[in-house]
Amino acid sequence: MFDEQLRSRFEWLRDPDPVAVATPPVLIAFDVLYVKGARCQPAATV
């Protein structure tokens, strides 16, 4: 959920503010590719 200034408001999923203007819940997914410079995924095999 995002507030009227498009700031993410994760806490509103648990405890929504009934008077606040907000977007509907949105699912955002991402992959972690590197951590501290090390690749997190195995190399592709062809």
Q: Domain coordinates of the chain in residue numbers?
A: 1-46
Read off the pTM: 0.43
Q: Name the DSSP class of 1.
A: -
Q: What does pLDDT average to in each consecutive run of 10 residues of the chain (46 residues)?
A: 83 83 78 84 73
What is the predicted pLDDT for the residue at 34?
85
